[in-house]
Amino acid sequence: MSTATQTQTITAENVIRLFPDVNTSLASSHKTPTSDSDLQGYDAEQIRLMDEVCIVLDNDDNPIGSASKKVCHLMKNIDEGLLHRAFSVFLFDSENRLLLQQRASEKITFPDMWTNTCCSHPLGVPGETGAELDEAVAGVRRAAQRKLDQELGIPGKQVPLEKFRFLTRIHYKAPSDGKWGEHEIDYILIIKSDVDHTANPNEVQDTKYVSQEDLRQMFQDGSLTFTPWFKLICNTMLFEWWDHLDQGLEKYQGEKEIRRM
């Protein structure tokens, strides 16, 4: 996996010069042309989602503009340092089992891979943006609630905003294939709730609740693949957090420093 090392520093002053497809307005439209050659052959719904507006960041998680999901996930832009905001939700039930999802084959990035409950992006729209950490955390909580419903059919009332616990941010870069990848500052959210879920088959092909031992056994199964951010979080922090779900998790919450992976 690549590290988060950048070839250049992206700032509010140079972002437009380096990336003409970035808009300095956060709540902007980024309509992808229907004839876009980069997206030919992919699932129609996943192509539509590539129009979503991601929050473009400088290296310190300050919003400096917005760009389409497509622009943010092209490796040619990632290799030049383009960075966006994301979140990863880890949802546990009352037995402290973690809900995993296997990404659908239709996904443009990291198809068929197992990962944490939900991973996506706050959008450059009112309510999901934010420059200060507290405001940004509130935005990713709203985005997490929205995406848990969209991907897994989990009702918002079963995952109320105040139950999401923000732990830390990780900055990482990882290729999916030669064309697509991720370069994100990823907000880590943990929530404990018993939920009803019905997977959206265009997003999720399978789900599974796992114990710590179940997950360790899955990692030993050579037939399974996992998203790079999920393995990164598991290999560094997840199992320690898991041990403290019911007592002592507070000491891990609200980290101010960004973890550079």
pTM for this prediction? 0.89
Q: State the pLDDT at residue 158.
A: 98
Placement of tokens 């089992």 in the chain: 97
More confident residue, 207 or 36: 207
Residue 5 confidence (pLDDT)? 47
How are beta strands 165-175 and 118-120 bridged, if at all?
unpaired
pLDDT in tens, 74-100: 999 999 999 999 999 999 999 999 999
Could you tell me if 150 and 143 are in contact, meaning their C-beta atoms sit under 8 angstroms apart?
no
Q: Is the pLDDT of residue 235 over 90?
A: yes
Q: Which residues pair with 210 in a beta bridge?
A: 98
Assign domain 85-260 to its CATH superfamily. Nucleoside Triphosphate Pyrophosphohydrolase (3.90.79.10)
Tokens for 156? 């918002």
Band (49; pLDDT cuts 50, 70, 90): confident
Q: Are 165 and 90 in contact (CB under 8 A)?
A: no
What the block records as the tokens of 239 is 């199992």
> Which residue out of 128, 182, 184, 203 is catalytically annotated?
184
Catalytic residue among 119, 151, 182, 234: 119
Q: Residue 226 and residue 130: Cα distance in Å, rounded? A: 30
Q: What is the pLDDT, as a whole number, of residue 26? A: 66
Helix (H) or strand (E) holding 76: helix 75-78
pLDDT, position 37: 78
For residue 186, which amino acid is it? D
Q: Return the pLDDT at 8.
A: 76
* Residues 159, 117 contacting (CB under 8 angstroms): no
Q: What is the mean pLDDT of residues 167-174?
A: 96
Task: Kindly state the average pLDDT of the residues 140-165.
Answer: 98
**Rounded CA separation 53/233 (Å):** 25
pLDDT for the residue numbered 104: 97
Whole-angstrom distance, CA of residue 23 vs CA of residue 182 = 19
Would you call 72 a catalytic residue per the annotation?
A: no
Residue with more model confidence, 34 or 151: 151
Distance CA 158, CA 127 (A): 20
pLDDT at res. 1: 46
The full set of domain ranges for the chain reads 85-260
Is 118 designated active site?
no
Q: Residue 3: its pLDDT value, please?
A: 46
